[in-house]
Chains A and B, each alone.
Chain A
Amino acid sequence: MITKSYIMPRSEILELQSRRLRSLVRNVYEGSPFYRKRLDDAGITPEDIRSKDDLRRIPFTTKSDLRDNYPLGMLSTPKSNLVRLHASSGTTGNPTVVAYTLRDIDNWAELNARCLEIAGATSADVVQVAYGYGLFTGGLGLHYGAEKLGAKVIPASTGSTKRQIKLMKDLGTTVICCTPSYGLFLAESAREEGLDPKEDLRLRIGVFGAEPWSEMTRKLLEEELVESAHDIYGMSELNGPGVAMECRAKKGLHIWEDHYIVEIIDPTTGEVLPPGEKGEMAVTTIMKEGMPLLRYRTRDMTILNEEVCECGLSHARIMRIIGRTDDMLKIRGICVFPSQIEEILASMENVTPHYQLVINRDGPMDKLMVRVEISEDFKTDRLTDIVDLQRRLENQLRDTLSINASVELLEPKTIPRSEGKAQRIVDMRKI
């Protein structure tokens, strides 16, 4: 059963964080040759880390540290204490392996149970988990969480959409956990089978994660599939899903600060940024035993809000992930993410999601041009309609990105497909 111990005042959370951090640093220094060397090299002894404020003296841990120490070089506990290994597929080189002790698994379940609970789920719910089960952490993480909550779990995993819909209907699924894009696909498929998903299914809550999504998608999901759509955040290095979750207020995702210390840093300099500023999230896993990480650079860009939420929880909230640092472009000193442009394109009629960003330097000034294909369904015989579309796009881009961008409208199907993001961004600046 889930305990309500996570509901605590902020002061208590902060105290817990410092205490757990101290013991984590001791543990990794004792248990992990990797971290012992890291700390020694930085001239830090475990005694130097007294509170959360001392954290910034510790070097960051990165994804390449995990790859370089493949498969199990990052453990902080003897291998015999492990009960689980997950691996994420690396597109290049070695996969990232993550390891869990029994207590890690139990904590992971607890955090996912909290996530479900703050979205409004109870033990009376029937939770269908349509994330992949297996090496990917999504399926099992929410599965444990739902069981911990005392709910009934349907471990549907991915695929077999027809069967998913039949199960939802026949078993009375009330909570669906899947990617937002699969959620939309489920709604569409249900319609194709002659069902009205909002009428014939009883989906109260949707737990959508594993890929970035927008308010636009939330609106669609709530119109087409579920009563209430919630964003969940996680990554296997930090356990898997359940690191942060949107409560019913839907004004950011609560990050479980009694398990994770979050810092927002400048992705270029590594400097810790003041609250409210946009930066890369670095996470320290203060409760993990098997493979804890100090200041792990998630490469996800967000903003941290430490104010108490209207739902009453004082665990800080992160904003929806704005983008990945890998995708970040600096134009005239301003961070621009392709995801921001994608969101604008998705919200507008008569253009497609197929675009290309061209960055050029005109004297000392960077210039951004967004080349986008118009939709084949754009029906007009008037040039003014097209000019108007271009102007509206330019205005939207300026409002969202805070820089001027010019728009070039292209004929449908002229941008090369399936060539990854490299093709999407053409940086012609000579630095």
Chain B
Amino acid sequence: MIKQFSVFLENSPGRLANLMGILEKNGIKVLAMGIAEAGNYGIVRMIVDNDEKAFDMMRKENMSVNQAEVLIIELERLANAVKTLSVVGVNIDYAYTMDCGRAVIKVNNEEKAIKALSEAGLKVYPTKC
């Protein structure tokens, strides 16, 4: 299963730059990222190349960081995947894209989602990129 980080950030100039700066300084590569905001704060969700290091480092910086399991699927056959999931009643909470032609999705029932996607001949990647 693929791990995604989500970090609570204040919605003000420099906060995201600060986070990215910390990752870069520690040699951590961001493979995908999505931002959701509400008022004065937001959540940055991302997939990175070194989970353990990223987690330790963000905790060290006193960030409110969370890890969640997500699925990585093919971007090209996204329409098909989304339809497949809707047919079996799996909801997608949020999604964002990766630059290697893949998409990150967070579903409400992973087991059911994986089963439906594989049965429809759609790929669920075991690795990030």
A interface residues with partner B (beta carbon < 8 Å): 374-383, 386-387, 390, 408-414
Contact = CB atoms under 8 A, between A and B. Distances in A.
Contact of A386 (B4, B38, B65): B38
A84 to B, nearest CB: 49
Given A376-B59, A411-B63, A383 B38 contact: yes
Interface on chain A toward B: helix, strand, loop, or mixed SS? loop
A345 to B, nearest CB: 16
Interface in B54-91: 59, 62-66, 68
A412 B62 contact: yes
B106 A381 contact: yes
A220 B107 CA distance: 39
A374 B8 contact: yes
Contacts of B9: 411
B42 A375 contact: no
B10 A411 contact: yes
B125 interface: no
9 contacts: A374-B8, A376-B59, A376-B63, A377-B64, A379-B66, A380-B43, A411-B8, A411-B9, A412-B64
Interface of B: 4, 6, 8-10, 15, 36-43, 45, 59, 62-66, 68, 93, 106
A383 B62 contact: no
B62 A380 contact: no
Contacts of B38: 383, 386-387
Contacts of A411: 8-10, 15, 62-64
Contacts of A409: 8, 40-41
Contacts of A383: 36-38, 42-43
Nearest to A411: B10
A247 B15 CA distance: 52
Given A381-B68, A383-B36, A411-B9, A376 B4 contact: no
B64 A374 contact: yes
Given A383-B36, A386-B43, A409-B41, A378 B64 contact: yes
Output the residue of A378, A380, A411, A413 with the most chain B CB within 10 A: A411
